[in-house]
Structure 1
Amino acid sequence: MCDTPAPDAPPLQQSAEFAAALALCGQRAARLDDGTLVLTRRIGGLPIALLSRARLAPPTLPGLLARAGLRRSLILMNPDTPCPGLDRLGAVPLITPAHVAELDLTGDLMAGLQQKWRNRLRHARGQGLRVTQGPLPLDPAHWLLIAEAAQQRARGYRNWPIALTLAHARANPGAAQLFTAHQSGTPVAGLLILRHGTAASYHIGHSTPAGRAASAQTLLMWQAMTWLAAQGATRLDLGPVETEQTPGLTRFKLGTGARARPLGGTWAWWPPMGKTLRPLAWLDRRRMQQSWTDAPAPDY
């Protein structure tokens, strides 16, 4: 079994809400007998099956894939928790584990804030910001979606396509909640949260220079946290944390009181080869295990 116990609500990438959004986009997906969502496609004639943020029990995986008709597909896996047992199947690690920040919404949220984060919240409350909240408008030209696309190009990272974000909102009415901070009637920051079951995920956050000066994103995150808790949500997934590439964003996420935990890395396995490549997995085993223990420190 995987090493780290997983929370009850599934990650966004394994949720019914995500499956509904994919279906609306015409994306092919399947479910294994244990409920794991699998995205399938062909690249150069080779069938590919992607298990993203899946909660895997390696001993059962061969049978699950066989019953789903995927025994001849190249399996790409990004487990939700460390799964060292994958190497015994012959899976080969490709990318060492990332860490995600998760916030428990069931406790005293104010008590969990780091002092600097609390100070920024106090600062934001004194800036005359007006916060609005509601479902994401189904408009591909919405200012937050356009700003996010431009930010992706400028910073060289990738998030969901606009079409998939809109599909999530359309397929799951009310699940895509937009929090907006206005200053003198002008939007200066936006925060998009996606609900899935009893959990939620931080999806898009953007601030203008005026919004950053007013600590608007801190106020929006606080509004989102308290609203989700009041709605009965138990966990907020704040996404990846990376102390070297995005130290400021990592401090912002961990400053909420969130805790960083490791995912399981990225693995590839082609069932027809069985355990042939198992020696390659053993060569990388120590590096994978080290990554599972190197969580970013909450130094906000």
Structure 2
Amino acid sequence: MFDFMPADVMPRPILRDETISALPQTPEFARALAATGKEPMVLSQLKDTVVMRRKLLGRIDVAMVNRARIDKPLRLIEQISEQGLHRTPVILSPETPTPALARHGAVPLVSPAYVGLVDLTGDHDQRRARLHQKWRNRLVHAERQGLRVTRQSLPQTPAHWLFAADAAQQARRGYRSWPVDLTLAYARENKGMAKVFEAHEGKDIVAGILVLRHGRGATYHIAHTTERGKALSAHNLLMWEAMNWLAKQGCEQLDLGVINTEDAPGLARFNLGSGARLHQLGGTWAYWAPMGRLLRPIAALDKRLMSTGISGYC
């Protein structure tokens, strides 16, 4: 999978700091959901696991547990049932590989992906030393271009240029991200936790990124670079400035999202060059209580799908 990458950008596996929750499992995210009318369930007996409610095809109720550590699968299923959802299909996307789900009748749907995690601990020089050489060279190039970097909290306007750029990119690449109203709610309900960094060449904005803070972690949410910005290596400069600012705020880890070397090799190379290491997620599973026992043999046969290594899928 990673054969095309230079040796200095080859990924190195990492075990995620278990004390830093992924964004979908944070109080900040739960507040944003509630503010948009999508009040989540928070299972206090299971380390405040966040359970979202969605409608598939506009009519089928499902519960979703995204990027939670599922140390006790049966207890999680029981807790969801006790909340009146015993007949509701549950989509489970664990933070780590959780093959034990198969024993309880969960069926694997999608094999595990990998996310990139940047270590923000240490001082300025230590963070810079963790950058890969080619990435660091592009950063030096950007630092010599006279670019002006600004930082501000995300304005409460759906017309922000980053949203328009991101929507165009989603349409072009065929994927879906957060609704704009959810991103705005995150910024509104978590003051100062959604920051926009922009690179300016004179009066022109040539690149921008939006990062979301949550506890001791942060997530890289939206980014866009113009053709001129690419020529100036502006994205490298913004990422570096964001990493340093986050570290000063007490953040210890930056989540760059899924590393996809097949569909977005350039972005994967960029993210790994920033010093990110790989963390394997647990894939996606489906569980429906009325069919749990009947599906158990199928789940056992298919669970090998959920233990794919780095060479198989990311």
Instruction: Give the aligned partner of residue 139 of structure 2.
Output: 121
User: C-alpha offsets along residues 59-88 of structure 1, whole Å, 9 cap, x if unaligned?
Assistant: 322322232222221010110111010000
Instruction: Give the aligned partner of residue 206 of structure 1.
Output: 224
| Aligned partner (choices 153, 165, 168) of residue 186 of structure 2 | 168
Stretch deviating more after TM superposition (40-49 or 232-241): 40-49
Instruction: List runs of 5+ in structure 2 lacking aligned partners.
Output: 1-14
Instruction: Give the aligned partner of residue 186 of structure 1.
Output: 204
TM (normalized to structure 2)? 0.89
- For 1:142 and 1:214, the matched residues in 2 are separated by 23
C-alpha contact 2:111 2:308 (8 A) present in aligned 1: no
Instruction: Give the aligned partner of residue 47 of structure 1.
Output: 61
User: C-alpha offsets along residues 198-241 of structure 1, whole Å, 9 cap, x if unaligned?
Assistant: 10000001001110110000000000001111111011000000
Change (3 A) 1:5 1:200: closer
| Aligned partner (choices 82, 95, 103) of residue 80 of structure 1 | 95
Instruction: Give the aligned partner of residue 5 of structure 2.
Output: none
The alignment-based identity, stated in percent, is 52
| Aligned partner (choices 156, 159, 162) of residue 138 of structure 1 | 156
- For 1:9 and 1:77, the matched residues in 2 are separated by 19
User: C-alpha offsets along residues 87-107 of structure 1, whole Å, 9 cap, x if unaligned?
Assistant: 000000001111100111113
C-alpha contact 1:263 1:292 (8 A) present in aligned 2: no
Instruction: Give the aligned partner of residue 303 of structure 2.
Output: 285
Letter of the structure 2 residue corresponding to residue 16 of structure 1:
P
Instruction: Give the aligned partner of residue 113 of structure 2.
Output: 98
Letter of the structure 1 residue corresponding to residue 188 of structure 2:
R
* SS in structure 2 at match of 1:275: helix
- For 2:231 and 2:16, the matched residues in 1 are separated by 40
Q: Number of residue pairs matched? A: 293
Report the CA distance between 1:46 and its aligned residue: 4.3
- For 1:253 and 1:119, the matched residues in 2 are separated by 15
- For 1:203 and 1:61, the matched residues in 2 are separated by 28
Report the CA distance between 1:5 and its aligned residue: 6.1
Instruction: Give the aligned partner of residue 269 of structure 1.
Output: 287
| Aligned partner (choices 10, 13, 38) of residue 24 of structure 2 | 13
Report the CA distance between 1:269 and its aligned residue: 0.4
Letter of the structure 2 residue corresponding to residue 50 of structure 1:
M
Instruction: Give the aligned partner of residue 82 of structure 2.
Output: 67
Report the CA distance between 1:134 and its aligned residue: 1.2
Instruction: Give the aligned partner of residue 148 of structure 1.
Output: 166
- For 1:274 and 1:171, the matched residues in 2 are separated by 38
More contact order relative to length (CA 8 Å, sep ≥ 6): 2
User: Is residue 56 from structure 1 mapped to residue 70 from structure 2 by the alignment?
Assistant: yes
Letter of the structure 1 residue corresponding to residue 25 of structure 2:
Q
- For 2:312 and 2:121, the matched residues in 1 are separated by 26
- For 2:32 and 2:152, the matched residues in 1 are separated by 19
Stretch deviating more after TM superposition (95-104 or 280-289): 280-289
Change (3 A) 1:167 1:205: same
User: C-alpha offsets along residues 236-295 of structure 1, whole Å, 9 cap, x if unaligned?
Assistant: 000000111111101111111111111000000011223211121122222321247757
Letter of the structure 1 residue corresponding to residue 121 of structure 2:
T
TM (normalized to structure 1)? 0.93
